Structure 1
Amino acid sequence: MLTLQALTLLYVLTSLRLNGNLITNGSEIINGKKVPDNQMLYMASVQSGNTHVCGGFLISKDFVVTAAHCSKPVVLGTHNLKKVDSKTMRYDVTQCKLVDFHNIVSGKDIMLLKLKKKAKLGKKVQLVKLPKTDMTMKANTECRVAGWGLTKTGGEAVDQLQMSNVSIVDPEECKKRLDGKLPNNVICAGGYKTKNGFCQGDSGGPLICQGVAIGVVSFNVGKNCDYPNWPNVYTDVSKYLPSIKKMLSSNQTVVG
């Protein structure tokens, strides 16, 4: 599997460092476990050339949420990327921007992908709930992140969906740890004071708290995923609810 180092961002990211550590797109699940086949059925694999590059999550029959730096066809309905039926599981998409996105360190790392054919909901494909209103999660709230990718720094990618429990990091502590360079409208969880978190390859995947997708995997610091060191950063979904609902209003109502 490919790590997520979008060529369009490299020239920006190589000049942006925090405490001497390069900020990089999020991707792999660290210290995780296999997701049971009957759970997290909203997960989407964003792919390029039949190879996983980003995560995503299904919020309606028409739309997948992912990171703004991800835009490819998606696969739904399987946790095992070795078992993909291209005729029934692969969906071409149209990119639908919610906000003007420049690079991951400036925030706004969220986008909708509109499926060119509606997803068929059933035993293998379900929707995930979004927050109902703007919200702030309390520090230490336990949540969950999931995705496909490497399981350790320099390790091997996996084909089976993995998940890991992570806790919300206080935003002021997160900002302090990131040398004050923290975008607006983000959530920090995992990667700090824990061995659990994400790394290069899960960008676009969801941060799930109490069954609700509250965040989108955005970035971490450096390519070192041997946590604990730096908090992981997610785009705060609740801050973009008006734009999401407006885009979906002519298609299908958001769950939640």
Structure 2
Amino acid sequence: MPLTQVSLQNRGSHFCGGAILTDRWILTAAHCFTSVSEEFLSGVRVLVGEFDRRVVDEEEQVFLIKSVSVHEKYHHALPMNYDIALVELEQHITMGAQVQPVCLPLPDVTVPPGTTCVVGGWGRTKERGRLPAVLREVHLDLVNPAKCKYLLHTVRRSLLSQRAGQLQPVTTILCAGPERGGKDACQGDSGGPLLCPAGSGSAPWVALGITSWGRGCGRGWGSDSNRPPSKRGSPGIFTDVRLLLPWIKQKLREGRS
């Protein structure tokens, strides 16, 4: 696949991923920007065409940030609904053989549970590991939406000790990953795209989700009810891009005005 993925770096250290949306805009997660102050953003660089962080890659480009738009309804409390942000670059990206924008899904596209998707990033490959130097990818199957919703309610109860009746409705989230664990996105992968096939055959791969969070890294979650809360896992949790297409389009229009 072409390098639609970007690395967000704060004073040289990778902290989040993102995806090229247009030659001026990057799609990422809201929680990557706990601050949008001028002081913080001045230290952030967006690396496009990055593959190996130890060297300058052939199509690598480095950009300053002009602005960040965080979704107005985003809240950091789990289940972290509306975890989406758009980053506007100071200059235009030069597309190439490797550097290409990601495709967005159509609002009504149906990607059935069990579909194998791809998550990429420079995040940890295990909970206490170091960030890898080279872009990695992992294949994850989509979880049934009803099971995803139930799991998120269970995780949130165990973390916050709140009754189910007090939970916010899960409206912008999808899950991916095996019940047995072993494969997952992890710390450092946040903001990167969950790429899924939007049909059969030669149908395009689309950014169905944005990497948001998870309980542990690659922990099994099929038998969580038999585990103490500190040992429970979850599938990978992703922002469902289909539900936020109107917001994305609105921000892009505002950026052109």
Task: Report the TM range for the smaller structure's normalisation.
Answer: 0.7 to 0.9
Q: What aligned pairs does 1:1-256 form with structure 2 within 5 A after superposition?
A: 39-71=1-33, 72-84=44-56, 89-93=61-65, 94-103=67-76, 105=78, 106-180=80-154, 181=156, 183-210=170-197, 211-221=205-215, 223-227=216-220, 229-249=233-253
Q: Larger % of strand: which? A: 1
For the residues of structure 1 that align with 2:144 and 2:110, how far apart are their CA atoms?
A: 10
For the residues of structure 1 that align with 2:126 and 2:119, how far apart are their CA atoms?
A: 15
Which amino acid counterpart does residue 249 of structure 2 have in structure 1? Answer: K
The TM-score, its normalising length taken from structure 2, stands at 0.75
Gaps of 5+ in 2: 34-43, 157-168, 198-204, 222-232
Choose 1 or 2 for highest CA Rg.
2
Gaps of 5+ in 1: 1-38
Q: What's the RMSD between the two structures over aligned residues?
A: 2.2
Tell me the equivalent position of 1:10. Answer: none
Shift of 1:214: 0.7
Structure 1 residues 102 and 250: CA distance shift in structure 2, 3 A: closer
Q: Identity rate of aligned residues, in percent? A: 33
Q: Larger % of helix: which? A: 2
SS at match of 2:107: coil
Q: How many residues align?
A: 212
The TM-score, its normalising length taken from structure 1, stands at 0.76
Higher relative contact order (CA 8 A, sep 6+): 1
For the residues of structure 1 that align with 2:94 and 2:46, how far apart are their CA atoms?
A: 14
Contact 1:104 1:218 in 2 (8 A): no
Shift of 1:115: 0.7
Structure 1 residues 134 and 104: CA distance shift in structure 2, 3 A: farther
Which amino acid counterpart does residue 52 of structure 1 have in structure 2? Answer: H
